Structure 1
């Protein structure tokens, strides 16, 4: 493989060959070894029939090997379908039927231990009979969280990945060469892969991975990091770390992927003296807005990155994309570029230009925003978490203390909402159901245990 012969060659060549590229526990890999392993894999994979235009699903043990394989596939011009290790077997099979790749690469053996990091692992390549070659120029395909229905496949082109790496690199507070970046979420997620790994490659920073998803491993990975990137779960693990835990080098902590609870943000800054910043984006577009310093406060997703075009229609945010990000579904409105609806409600602070995230754009038949009904429920002293579905019927799924009673919740809502906005039913549960990525589910069928499967008219079809 010639480092300069493919779109990411410059990223691999950026770091000092002798410097550490990545570390997990006691295991470390230099930039030189990263390039050597990627080069070797790019010479081996074609023997299995993988070449430019091939579609390859990648799944398995989080590892250095995982990233060597991804870069090797990209260097060959293959389209990589990246699956999260925590996706249940049945859902993984449904995603494979939806994406219909020609090859499946399995890394190691998970055996129910999906969050355990292995420095190196076995690479098993299987040809998938009847799989279809790439029908678009997307080099990366990932899946949305599926919180509001079926996970949606979203593709990124090489130019969009490089543009995002450049936009992130231009921000004032991000990691620089020689610094250590703890990437605490799985790299199958967009923010961890692009904002963490690819940005670190481009700048010559060292990536530190936790050896597992457990509390002690997450704290250990962050212990000597200059920058910490994670989701609300990982930020909470650090905020609730045992007494005496210190992060002496920490200068920047950024949360992405979901809303960070105010309590977690407050606990973190009290422990470490560093405010948690925010990175907001979508699987289709990557990072859209940031408040890296956390200067605007909880609930603020920041200001748009330079070069990202946005607009707000009926209170909901839209992001401009040059072409459709969907490799398997027709999307005529975006075929030649257009406005991608995020379905997130935002409000702009006129003084700072920053956006406040208000929630999703669903409404009850009364006209009340579902997010406002959720806010009323969350104000109840015994409610820990809540999801409200609508418009007809409006139903609430509530997690909290054992003292919660459906009649009390209905009476509470009537104190603050018009009668038509009060949920017709309340489902009180110990914990809200969540997707594989940890987000609260907002799909009625899945919350009622009906699951999901790919629609027959989408399976095995091109654009």
Structure 2
């Protein structure tokens, strides 16, 4: 059995700060009171233990209260991505068979002909209270959240995430990173995403403060980090790059109180890691996904410089192996452990996520002689040119190290002679010509890996968690 997170935490450390937003703070006791109030009002609206609801909102304290209120009411929460279109959201609502949609009042979405009730946050707050009998323990198999994959191939799948999945993920993480009584996690990741929700889970399991931001603000984040107001943070490559540019422009350095910056969402350019080291930012690459309730592997602090570019070793409860061919050390990454989803819902309910206990991730990587995982790229993004495998991330890594390149995205373009060739999309911070980039790439890459065309753009296509969406680059072509 797993203790009901918030109930247990409010009992253990009721006066410790749970949440901070702007100038406001809430203790764990106050957080429990807010969540209980919402849970009782959800009962009044006919929502019962075991039912599935959908939740759509931005990263605000009200969203935090609503999430915990749903958990206290025993509801399964379908976490909807606020950056999707109305039609995409309607599809997920239908596929998930949620009995109701809980909608943030700030949302601009207009849903018509929806075959289920919509409850705005203000509707819920205005409701009366009903009696609520809260359980103090959960079955490990209890589904807490459901999050849809990004749907890079085919329709997105609704991933079940259980009490055991989330709890084992949090415990594995703390065994790797450690914990101090002053820990405060700066959360700028969307709460509907696994990276954001996992921070809330860690907060109540560890008794740790969450410093919440509705959106990523590189200037505010740089200020928090250099003043030592927060100790840990999660980023992706794009947000790390924006933060580094501010810290370099203002000549800022991370406070010694800042302990960890987890960098995930895909390979981080080595140039970013070197620049972060100059700003005293302890960046640790991590590897995980929706189906693994966040982290599967993370580089430890002691190995950050020795194994730069690695995602580290599997966390304590987890296992990783590489499905390789007979003569190649690079192959698909397979994952096993208590953090792996037991299955999907909706149209994918009959699909087993694992084969012989191993989850095939769709990522390509290798494990070095010391057991450290290196992610090369997504299998679906692989470019095969004249029989040679080309990984876009390798080219992006080189381009990102050019002093005038802010960001780079690479995808394959059909070619009559070679089948496919790499092309690059560049966000620059100064005047740069294609011939300069070609020459730069030729210094660092084999000829067949050098992009055959460069397109200069204002920004790259990214999803809600700021991951580069390469299929959009192909659509641009």
Pick the TM interval, shorter chain: 0.7 to 0.9
Residue 349 of structure 1 corresponds to which residue in structure 2? Answer: 368
Q: Any idea what the Cα deviations from partners look like across 1:134-154, whole Å, max 9, x if unmatched? A: xx9532111234455644322
Distance 2:85 2:43 in 1: 30
Q: 1:404 to 1:245 in 2, by over 3 A?
A: closer
Superposition map of 1:244-255 within 5 A:
245-248=252-255, 249-255=257-263
Residue 83 of structure 2 corresponds to which residue in structure 1? Answer: 86
Residue 459 of structure 1 corresponds to which residue in structure 2? Answer: none
Q: Is the 8 A contact 2:299 2:312 kept in 1?
A: yes
> Among residues 377, 386, 403, which one is paired with 2:409 in the alignment?
386
Residue 368 of structure 1 corresponds to which residue in structure 2? Answer: 388
Q: 1:93 to 1:250 in 2, by over 3 A?
A: same
Distance 2:100 2:369 in 1: 50
Secondary structure in 2 aligned to 1:13? helix
Q: 1:374 to 1:64 in 2, by over 3 A?
A: closer
- Does residue 301 (structure 1) correspond to residue 311 (structure 2)? The answer is yes
Residue 265 of structure 1 corresponds to which residue in structure 2? Answer: 273
- Does residue 156 (structure 1) correspond to residue 161 (structure 2)? The answer is yes
Residue 287 of structure 2 corresponds to which residue in structure 1? Answer: 280
1:251 deviation in Å? 2.2
Instruction: Report the count of equivalent residues.
Output: 422
Distance 1:346 1:397 in 2: 22
Q: Any idea what the Cα deviations from partners look like across 1:424-452, whole Å, max 9, x if unmatched? A: 887664433222322121326x84279xx
Secondary structure in 2 aligned to 1:301? coil
> Among residues 95, 103, 106, which one is paired with 2:103 in the alignment?
106
1:23 deviation in Å? 0.6
Residue 66 of structure 2 corresponds to which residue in structure 1? Answer: 69
- Does residue 210 (structure 1) correspond to residue 228 (structure 2)? The answer is no
Q: Is the 8 A contact 1:148 1:441 kept in 2?
A: no
1:330 deviation in Å? 4.0
Instruction: Provide structure 2 residue ranges, at least 5 long, that are not aligned to the other structure.
Output: 110-119, 126-140, 325-330
Q: Any idea what the Cα deviations from partners look like across 1:202-250, whole Å, max 9, x if unmatched? A: 2222111135422233234444112223323333343223525454321
> Among residues 320, 323, 336, which one is paired with 1:320 in the alignment?
336
Superposition map of 1:186-265 within 5 A:
186-194=190-198, 196-210=199-213, 212-222=215-225, 223=227, 224-239=229-244, 240-241=246-247, 242-243=249-250, 245-248=252-255, 249-265=257-273
Q: 1:57 to 1:192 in 2, by over 3 A?
A: same
Q: 1:138 to 1:368 in 2, by over 3 A?
A: farther
Distance 1:244 1:376 in 2: 29
TM-score by length of 1: 0.79
> Among residues 142, 145, 168, which one is paired with 1:140 in the alignment?
145
- Does residue 339 (structure 1) correspond to residue 358 (structure 2)? The answer is yes
- Does residue 448 (structure 1) correspond to residue 445 (structure 2)? The answer is no
Q: Is the 8 A contact 1:185 1:231 kept in 2?
A: no
Q: Any idea what the Cα deviations from partners look like across 1:358-400, whole Å, max 9, x if unmatched? A: 11223516442230x6635764668751322478852544222
Superposition map of 1:16-95 within 5 A:
16-95=13-92
Q: 1:65 to 1:323 in 2, by over 3 A?
A: closer
Q: 1:430 to 1:410 in 2, by over 3 A?
A: farther
Q: 1:310 to 1:55 in 2, by over 3 A?
A: same
Q: Aligned-residue CA RMSD in angstroms?
A: 3.6
Q: Any idea what the Cα deviations from partners look like across 1:328-364, whole Å, max 9, x if unmatched? A: 204544479632111212221213x211111122351
Q: Is the 8 A contact 1:238 1:268 kept in 2?
A: no
1:111 deviation in Å? 5.0
1:304 deviation in Å? 0.1
Q: 1:176 to 1:192 in 2, by over 3 A?
A: farther
Q: 1:391 to 1:280 in 2, by over 3 A?
A: farther
Q: Is the 8 A contact 1:106 1:125 kept in 2?
A: no
Residue 116 of structure 2 corresponds to which residue in structure 1? Answer: none
1:313 deviation in Å? 0.3
Distance 2:201 2:352 in 1: 30
Distance 1:148 1:14 in 2: 45
Residue 310 of structure 1 corresponds to which residue in structure 2? Answer: 320
Q: 1:83 to 1:304 in 2, by over 3 A?
A: same
1:53 deviation in Å? 2.5
Higher helix share: 2
Distance 1:399 1:430 in 2: 10
Q: 1:391 to 1:323 in 2, by over 3 A?
A: farther
Distance 1:154 1:243 in 2: 42
Secondary structure in 2 aligned to 1:300? coil
Distance 2:238 2:463 in 1: 13
1:34 deviation in Å? 0.3
Instruction: Provide structure 1 residue ranges, at least 5 long, that are not aligned to the other structure.
Output: 113-120, 127-135, 451-463
> Among residues 409, 416, 426, which one is paired with 2:446 in the alignment?
416
